[in-house]
Amino acid sequence: MQPPLPGAPTSHTPAHYGSTVSLTTRRAVPRPVEAPVLGRLLTGRLVAGPGVGDALRVATGLAAEGRAVALEHRPGAADDVAGELGALVAGARAAAVGDCEVTLPVDRLTEVPALAADAARAGLGVALEGSSARVDALLVELPAARAVVSSGEADAVGRCRALAGGRVRLRAGRGAAARRAFVRCLDVLMAGDGAPAVATSDPRLIAVAGERAAWHGRTYDTWEHVMPWRIRPAEQQRIAASGAALRIAVPSGRGAVAGLAATAGGLR
């Protein structure tokens, strides 16, 4: 009769003897962060803040550094959209915001032409964001405005082809199909006679934009990069140092805070 096997030393766990179950360690399951809490954490970091004053404060600071700015103020669902954007335009007139465009969410506004006229008097450009039908109809009345086109739209390439002679801000959509459409849209816009703005923080798409611009003989003063505030700052510095035009998109408003919190927190 053989003697019994020795027991495990008290300083060891069953894992030392081939067991697949650890009795001493257990990973804690991370708890989801509530959207209001996450929104407060993001405010001032990736979103200027919920108020018009927050947007103007950040824009003034960027202008002092010589940066062009795109103010993307998104009021909350229950907020006075026209009132907040009117206050933003009026505040920008009094502030030193330099080369600045204001994005107007056209599907939430009925006063777009009046706001665009106020912006022009304040020395601001406007970018029209919203449904393609509404944006394209307003461009007839506001030919100097910039149209925001997402590469995730169903007919993004067709829209870019129709608008290639004007001012388009091409925004990168999500997913492989949207990235492919983004590249096709770049080809169309860079070959046109307009002034495209390329809105992406993806280094691969930024590189492709530069390649397409060079292929079509574009000089730096005929197009620009648009990148979000405080996203990939090293890449922003590299672009600026290269001599290329760069505009910093500054999100603000309760809608921007809630939207970014939902994206970052994985909320639906």
In CATH, what number is assigned to the domain containing residue 120? 3.20.20.220
In a domain, 70, yes or no: yes
Is 159 or 267 the better-scoring residue by pLDDT? 159
Q: What is the DSSP letter of 43?
A: B
By CB atoms closer than 10 A (0-12, 13-18, 19+), residue 26 is exposed
Q: Is residue 27 part of a domain?
A: no
- Which sign, positive or negative, has the C-alpha torsion 241, 244, 250, 255? negative
**Structural domain of 56:** 48-265
How many domains would you assign to the chain? 1
User: Tens digit of pLDDT for each residue in 55-72?
Assistant: 999 999 999 999 999 999
Give the pLDDT confidence score for residue 6 in this predicted structure: 44
Q: What is the mean pLDDT of residues 6-21?
A: 39
Indicate whether 65 belongs to any domain. yes
> Looking at the predicted structure, is the pLDDT value of residue 24 above 90?
no
> How far lies 215's CA from each of 12, 51, 163, 186, in Å?
65, 42, 20, 11
Across 135-158, average pLDDT: 96
Residue 41, Cβ density class (10 Å: 0-12 exposed, 13-18 middle, ≥19 buried)? middle
Inside any domain, residue 238: yes
Residue 12 lies in a domain: no
Instruction: Tell me if 111 is assigned to some domain.
Output: yes
Beta carbons within 8 Å of 146's beta carbon, 6+ residues apart: 101, 125, 126, 127, 128, 166, 167, 168, 169, 197
Residue 71: inside a domain: yes
pLDDT tens column, 162-216: 999 999 999 999 999 999 999 999 999 999 999 999 999 999 999 999 999 999 9
Which residues pair with residue 44 across a beta bridge? none
| Beta strands in 115-163, from DSSP E residues, in sequence order | 125-129, 146-150
Q: Pairing between strand 246-252 and 68-73?
A: parallel
Confidence (pLDDT) at 45: 74
- Mean pLDDT of all residues in 127-133: 97
Q: Is 116 a residue whose pLDDT tops 60?
A: yes
pLDDT band at 262 (very low <50, low <70, confident <90, very high): low
Has residue 226 been placed in a domain? yes
Residue 258 — very low, low, confident or very high, per pLDDT cuts 50/70/90? Answer: confident
42 has pLDDT over 90: no
Q: What is the DSSP string of 56-111?
A: HHHHHHHHHTT-EEEEEE---TTS-HHHHHHHHHHHHHHTT--SEEEEEEGGG-S-
Whether 33 has a pLDDT exceeding 60, the answer reads no
